[in-house]
Structure 1
Amino acid sequence: MPDRLPPLPHLQGGNFLADGGLETTLVFLEGIDLPSFAAFPLVLTEAGREALARYFGPYLAEARNRDVGFILDTPTWRANPDWAEKLGFGLGDVLEANRRAVAFAARLRDEVDDPSIPIVLNGVVGPRGDGYVVGATMTEDEAARYHRPQIEALRDGGADMVSAITMTYVEEAVGIALAARASGVPVAVSFTVETDGRLPSGQDLKAAIEDTDAATGKTPAYYMINCAHPDHFREAIASGEPWLDRILGIRANASRKSHAELDASTELDIGDPTELGRQYRDLRSQLPSLRVFGGCCGTDHRHIAAICEACL
């Protein structure tokens, strides 16, 4: 990252937690209707903010009890122009929702009121498309132009960093990284993979990370893997090669199901939290830089607690 950007505390060492599957928890466990799986409208109402506060509470408590840091995500995975339009939001409205999402996260951070627990406000930038399939693609420049307004809104709201979450192909990841660099905000990139350990685009994980680094001058502060079960990517990270040092975070699914199977599911598959914790422990031996532990679809605070028991 350029020297002018502020240092991120989790790059200085130590373990950090993140939350689990926000949308799946709210929909399947809390019974909250999220059209298009979009959680960002919740920050606009008192009832929505209360639901989000209840959701994040156990995770923040776990971090405090474990005396580790926390990456506090904004609920803005769907808060880009295309998804906002489907929900009846104009560009100005969705950008304001991004700023308010950071302000909400900042209030949660302040309520912890414990200077020994570093909390990073992470502005989440999701894919323009579905997140499970590639669909229509953009060039790197198109992706940078498309995502930059959201990144700037998150920055202006006070985010410490932004993360490109559930990236399905390299060009969009590169565009987000370039837009973040131009906006003067640190950025992480998280790729998702299919059951064969490859991105939905068909590219292998090593090539995706190396190509993104090459196209951006290693702009991403680090990489993550999300929205896939450890069984899906264990072999992809088995080489012991230097590129694995760039992966600092894992946010795995609870379920071994494929993306297509999850998309068709009407019931939540929470898997086995204890087993998932053991698998995270095994991943630490393959990923020497791993220090951010969170979850994705189907996971909740029980899974994060089990990961803590196994890894911390």
Structure 2
Amino acid sequence: MDPRTLPQLQGAPFLTDGGLETTLVFRDGLDFPLFAAFTLLRSATGREALARYFADYLALAERHGTGIVLESPTWRANPDWGERLGYTLDGLAEANRAAVALLTEVTAPFVAAGGTRVVSGCIGPRGDGYRADRLPSVDEARAYHDWQVGILAGTAADMVCAMTMTTAEEGTGVALAAQAHGLPVAISFTTETDGRLPSGQPLGEAIAQVDALTDGYPAYFMVNCAHPEHVQQALTPGAPWLHRLRGLRANATRLSHAELDAADRLDDGDPEQLAGLYVGLCARLGSLNVLGGCCGTDVRHVHAIATACTPLFRHLVR
């Protein structure tokens, strides 16, 4: 698919889901190892829990008259994490396929009713999403992520999204792997409280680096797993890269990644306050239109974000 044909690039608002793993663990009381939600696909009970989770966000998109981008629960479904979880490569490949199949199934009624949905294959970092504990070269990252991108390219996924990237090199590697397989890709970096990536690189420099090394292949860029106030630290007025930032999936909490790692309870913040911060970022970033949540957020937060932000797109909402 030509990346330019993705419907969210037309500027109308698209919702995403919230904090998949934190919702399932802290709110639904499910137990799965290493934040690897794809392991739930092994049982009927787990598949039903995932389907219910996504159905709640589809209902929100229908209520607010927006499109929706849903990420497959495959953030941990890459070879290193799969090995730690006891998966063979064949088993891991089947899990990736099953995750996308679940999304196409659960979104079918939404599409039949005229809704616009994008199924995105989620690619997570090779290492820890909170720390730049691996510093791969671009070639190393491309070779590593090529396997999962290739599996997802053989499914009904409309695109892939590299979520919680901690270095520009790893984001570039995913983008190049997606390009090789002919898949549109979004690159989503995470930032620390100062607006810099965990690697220490400024967000704008990371976006510019990926674009320079891929001839601008990514359809767009995002930020996830950071509070809006942390993201604001990175936004230099008039910077040429700002128009490439189209998506935001923020945390409900202002905690740093280190504090989140040490936390033993969920900090779900204030949904209305979070939504107000999204409005401010939408005003500063005219291209921002893919809106959802990350750690600590659930349907309450995304509903508040949609309620506050969709009026900004009134002329584009169906």
Q: TM-score range by the shorter chain?
A: over 0.9
SS of the equivalent of 1:189 reads strand
TM-score (norm 2): 0.95
Moved more, 133-142 or 243-252: 133-142
Kindly report which structure 2 residues correspond to 1:185-264, keeping only aligned pairs within 5 A, or say none: 185-264=183-262
SS of the equivalent of 2:76 reads coil
CA contact (8 A) 2:111 2:117 kept: no
Distance 1:115 1:148 in 2: 35
Q: CA deviation at 1:109?
A: 1.1
Moved beyond 4 Å, runs of 4+: 3-6
Distance 1:156 1:188 in 2: 18
* Structure 1 residue aligned with 2:121: 123
Q: What amino acid maps onto 2:79 in structure 1?
A: P
Q: What amino acid maps onto 1:246 in structure 2?
A: R
Q: What amino acid maps onto 1:278 in structure 2?
A: G
* Structure 2 residue aligned with 1:10: 8
Q: CA deviation at 1:5?
A: 5.2
CA contact (8 A) 2:36 2:77 kept: yes
Out of 138, 150, 158, the residue aligned to residue 152 of structure 1 is 150
Distance 1:297 1:98 in 2: 22
Distance 1:4 1:83 in 2: 30
CA contact (8 A) 1:168 1:200 kept: yes
CA RMSD of aligned residues (A): 1.2
CA contact (8 A) 2:16 2:68 kept: yes
Q: CA deviation at 1:115?
A: 4.6
Residue 107 (structure 2) pairs with residue 98 (structure 1): no
* Structure 2 residue aligned with 1:31: 29
Q: CA deviation at 1:4?
A: 4.8
Distance 2:201 2:108 in 1: 41
Distance 1:29 1:254 in 2: 14
State the identity as a percent. Answer: 55
Out of 179, 182, 195, the residue aligned to residue 181 of structure 1 is 179
Residue 307 (structure 2) pairs with residue 309 (structure 1): yes
Q: CA deviation at 1:69?
A: 0.2
CA contact (8 A) 2:162 2:186 kept: yes
SS of the equivalent of 1:294 reads strand
Moved more, 167-176 or 91-100: 91-100
SS of the equivalent of 2:188 reads strand
Superposed CA deviations along residues 35-81 of structure 1, whole A, max 9, x for unmatched, are 11000111232111100011112211010011110001100000000
The runs of 5 or more residues in structure 1 that have no matched partner are none
* Structure 2 residue aligned with 1:44: 42
* Structure 1 residue aligned with 2:285: 287
* Structure 2 residue aligned with 1:87: 85
Distance 1:71 1:247 in 2: 16
Distance 2:234 2:137 in 1: 26
Q: What amino acid maps onto 2:73 in structure 1?
A: P
* Structure 1 residue aligned with 2:163: 165
Residue 72 (structure 2) pairs with residue 74 (structure 1): yes
Q: CA deviation at 1:137?
A: 1.9
Q: What amino acid maps onto 1:48 in structure 2?
A: G
Q: CA deviation at 1:152?
A: 1.2
Distance 2:306 2:103 in 1: 23
CA contact (8 A) 1:67 1:116 kept: no
CA contact (8 A) 1:100 1:157 kept: no
The count of corresponding residues between Structure 1 and Structure 2 is 310
Q: What amino acid maps onto 2:300 in structure 1?
A: R
Distance 1:70 1:293 in 2: 9
Q: What amino acid maps onto 1:22 in structure 2?
A: L
Q: What amino acid maps onto 1:301 in structure 2?
A: V
Q: CA deviation at 1:113?
A: 4.2
Distance 2:302 2:127 in 1: 28
Distance 1:5 1:275 in 2: 34
Q: What amino acid maps onto 2:308 in structure 1?
A: A
SS of the equivalent of 2:241 reads helix
* Structure 1 residue aligned with 2:316: none
CA contact (8 A) 1:69 1:119 kept: yes
Q: What amino acid maps onto 2:136 in structure 1?
A: M
Q: CA deviation at 1:111?
A: 2.8
